[in-house]
Structure 1
Amino acid sequence: MPGIKVHPNDSFDEAYRKFKKQVDRNLIVTETRARRFFEPMTEIRKKQKISARKKMLKRLYMLRRYESRL
């Protein structure tokens, strides 16, 4: 669970912004949305396959971009 330290001179808006940043970093909201409904294993595997492909294409893009600078 995310926790923040609030200093006496911090405003509510600053503390709220820090808290939201912690929640975003820990992926709490996205995880709760994903667990909201039951997903069969076929759907989970499908999503993993899509994310692996995206990651591979991103790495390939970055590699080609880096090689073009040389």
Structure 2
Amino acid sequence: MIVNALALAWVSFETVNIAWRRPELLSPGALWYRQWAVPLIGAVLLGVGVTYMVWKRPHTKAGACDAKSTAAGT
């Protein structure tokens, strides 16, 4: 459990680090969407994923894996 928490913290840190805008790396007069490309794409992917999970609810389907039966080995 501690390893999972550390991994989540590290991935969160790296995601923010990569997505952070660095204007000094852009060419002068770069368009706004080039400056914000990584955060915008991340937000779109997160939005699509959350929309899919809420709308389709794949975790509640009859064929979904049951944690109790998996833990019991059945």
TM-score range, shorter chain: 0.3 to 0.5
TM-score by length of 2: 0.36
Structure number with the bigger relative contact order (C-alpha 8 A, sep ≥ 6) is: 1
TM-score by length of 1: 0.37
